[in-house]
Amino acid sequence: MKFLVIFLLFVGCGGPKNAAGGYEADMRKGWIFGTNTEVVSPIPKTLYIVLDPTKVADDIKITNSKDTIIHFRDYFGIGIKTALKPYFEKIEVVAPGFVTPEDHIIAEVKLDEVAAHEVLAENDNHTTFTMRWSITFRPDQETEAVFSYTGMGESTASKKLEDTTWRMIQSATDGLRKEWTDKNVYQTLKTDNANEPISKEL
């Protein structure tokens, strides 16, 4: 098997309440992402994943729910970094305004919304959580994107909101990786043939 076993890191049972009386999920106590062990020759550049606090909040108020997620931004960064790790020599998650002298690629991330949806069906009433997000890749010193992806992560609610959030982010990065493969973005960046933008919107 190519993927490592994923372990649960929850500490204790139950959970803290937020000001609205809902559950407050702390992603410092979330799941570890399975390692992407795809074997490729890494692009000899550093990928900088830019997580701007104005575009990816750290504390998330879930639409249609009293529940909230805290320490989301760092955890989301880990998920993206894990998904893309085989393709780059080095990956760093940074804030806006970072300074680096080396040739590199920038990935800018935006989170639009995390929302809860009640699904009412015969003998199957449940809640689904979704996240709408986007990511854009461009080489250093370039203004045009090489690859832009807009997608959705989704997870059926489970007993622990940390668990649900992990699965939602996993779904989001799985969609990114599929489109990355379908559009052959790796080869485009590998050969520095970034003249034509590659985009995907769902």
Q: How many Å apart are CA 112 and CA 173, to the nearest integer?
A: 15
Output the CA–CA distances (angstroms, integers) from residue 38 to 85, 180, 186, in the order listed.
9, 13, 12
Residue 16 falls inside a structural domain: no
User: What crossing angle do the helices spanning 72-84 and 161-182 adopt, rounded to 10°?
Assistant: 40
Residue 2 falls inside a structural domain: no
CA torsion 124-127-134-30 (nearest 10°) is: -120
Q: State residue 183 phi and psi, 5-degree precision.
A: -90, 0
Q: How many Å apart are CA 36 and CA 173, to the nearest integer?
A: 11
Residue 3 falls inside a structural domain: no
Residue 29 falls inside a structural domain: yes
- pTM score of the predicted model: 0.84
Q: How many Å apart are CA 34 and CA 79, to the nearest integer?
A: 9
Give me the pLDDT at residue 192, please.
Answer: 65
Q: How many Å apart are CA 19 and CA 66, to the nearest integer?
A: 9
Q: Each residue's pLDDT tens digit in the chain (202 positions)?
A: 333 333 233 333 346 788 778 999 999 988 888 888 887 899 999 999 999 999 999 999 999 999 999 999 999 999 999 999 999 999 999 999 888 777 899 999 999 999 999 988 777 788 999 999 999 999 887 888 999 999 999 999 988 999 999 999 999 999 999 999 999 999 988 886 444 444 444 4
Give me the pLDDT at residue 202, please.
Answer: 41
Number of domain units in the chain? 1
Residue 11 falls inside a structural domain: no
Residue 108 falls inside a structural domain: yes
Residue 173 falls inside a structural domain: yes
Task: Check which CATH number belongs to the domain holding 133 and give it.
Answer: 3.40.50
Give me the pLDDT at residue 11, please.
Answer: 30
Among 81, 91, 92, 76, residue whose Cα is nearest residue 35: 81
Give me the pLDDT at residue 19, please.
Answer: 79
Give me the pLDDT at residue 130, please.
Answer: 98
Residue 5 falls inside a structural domain: no
Sheet containing 198-201, strands listed edge to edge, beginning at the edge strand earlier in sequence = 88-94, 43-50, 104-119, 126-139, 147-156, 198-201
Residue 165: which domain range? 24-35+44-201
